[in-house]
Structure 1
């Protein structure tokens, strides 16, 4: 898909009218009472909060950005966070400072914060950034002390990671990238969240490869790139090693000059 999707805000059952108006105004989107036939994606505000819902024949259901769902709690209890934590050396670096350069729905960023890292989440797509801001605000104000604590270690930057100040990049321990999987791949064909990301983002392997090249030139201890398990290294850059997850792997690129540069 090329270009931006035809998108509007709509108020659903039990939704907060003030929130719908605020999102429509901040994103310069129309606020509709009924979705039109020319729309591809709806930013729906209902009783459960904001959600993105693809429209049209065969469209998936609404996708929400939230950190209090059962899937994240199951992921935490089931020990599924070990690979990403080891890849980013979170356990070896207390209070590790991680920059997530491709925030998306920020589930990996939340996991890293839960493991103890301080995470800066960058999201350049305005609609996704707005959903992330709402989700983080909800987590920070939740009754659950765990949610509040983890949310306190997440900072959202609604901008391209490449616009971060040099001093912010230099202070980070690691830079994490999770580019979209190829549109023709099995992962792209499954999952409501991936479908929504395909509507909103126009990344391809070439642009993602360019992002990796930029990341490898930054003064961080390591760059970690999330890839499908059988996909080639992004941009053709072979990592020093990879850590496998259940359906993905984490390619690790240490920066041997980091400590030397920090001492100079």
Structure 2
């Protein structure tokens, strides 16, 4: 079970509202946590919402911070160029991308930084709460660049397949990043993401990802892009039009029509 707890008394009202919205149990600030009952806590502070395992030895919390040093460093990464090429950055302006598996929003942020207008669909309410917190924090930032980038990001809470026809008609590209084991070298990062995967991996995830690709290929978009481990088979066994390969991952590109034609 996941609980909600304010880190300070001044965040109690926000914690109460979040617990009610997610139908999760609320703990008082400073209340001892029963580790046999709670596998994780949503920690609400005046500035952010974070997900953390209980206990003093727990790894660092999972938090969405688009202005963090790691995200700024990623701006200079070669993988950004690969992702941009895969979705078709530069072929249409603005390029509208639906990230149908938004997760913590890192690829969505990169795409928005590349100039795309990105809709982030996230079906897990707890993850959506983390994303919402990250977006609000960035919007309140004194960093003009950060505010500009997140101004191109829109959160759509819920299953991407439940978006209406009108919303899909506005998209040029659907981007899919089905969850697969992280390859980060840092043990601490691995522990954080291990918690994330343990909480949000679902039975039948492979079949669900296959079905999501099937849905995406039927959508009125110009292309579908799927992020895959470098040596993994194509999703659902469906060969892409082409693939763009990096050092650790590749992007399978399914071209359905010319960008700008839909």
TM-score normalized by structure 2?
A: 0.88
Counterpart pick for 1:23 among 18, 26, 51? 18
2:13 aligned counterpart, secondary structure: helix
Give 1:102's aligned residue: 101
Whole-angstrom distance in 2 between the partners of 1:242 and 1:14: 51
Whole-angstrom distance in 1 between the partners of 2:197 and 2:40: 11
Note if contact 2:91-2:259 (Cα within 8 Å) is conserved in structure 1: no
Gap runs ≥5 in structure 1: 1-5
Gap runs ≥5 in structure 2: none
Note if contact 1:15-1:49 (Cα within 8 Å) is conserved in structure 2: no
Note if contact 1:15-1:48 (Cα within 8 Å) is conserved in structure 2: no
Note if contact 2:52-2:60 (Cα within 8 Å) is conserved in structure 1: yes
Give 2:157's aligned residue: 158
1:141-187 per-residue CA deviation (whole Å, 9 max, x = no partner) reads: 210000110111001000100011112212211000111116xx867
1:248/1:169 CA distance change after superposition, 3 Å: same
Whole-angstrom distance in 1 between the partners of 2:258 and 2:42: 45
Give 1:255's aligned residue: 256
Give 2:213's aligned residue: 212
Whole-angstrom distance in 2 between the partners of 1:132 and 1:259: 29
> Which structure 2 residues correspond to residues 36-51 of structure 1 after superposition, within 5 A?
36=34, 37-46=36-45, 49-51=48-50
1:87/1:191 CA distance change after superposition, 3 Å: farther
- Measured after TM superposition, the shift of residue 244 of structure 1 is 1.7
Q: Mean Cα displacement is larger for which, 238-247 or 67-76? A: 238-247
1:85-141 per-residue CA deviation (whole Å, 9 max, x = no partner) reads: 110002222210000000110110011001000001100111111111111111112
- Measured after TM superposition, the shift of residue 199 of structure 1 is 0.9
Note if contact 2:48-2:137 (Cα within 8 Å) is conserved in structure 1: no
Runs of at least 4 residues off by over 4 Å: 56-59, 257-260
Q: Mean Cα displacement is larger for which, 159-168 or 41-50? A: 41-50
Give 2:197's aligned residue: 197
Give 1:3's aligned residue: none
Q: Mean Cα displacement is larger for which, 148-157 or 32-41? A: 32-41
Whole-angstrom distance in 1 between the partners of 2:95 and 2:198: 31
Give 2:143's aligned residue: 144
Whole-angstrom distance in 2 between the partners of 1:216 and 1:194: 30
- Measured after TM superposition, the shift of residue 198 of structure 1 is 3.1
2:62 aligned counterpart, secondary structure: coil
Aligned pair count reads 253
Give 2:180's aligned residue: 181
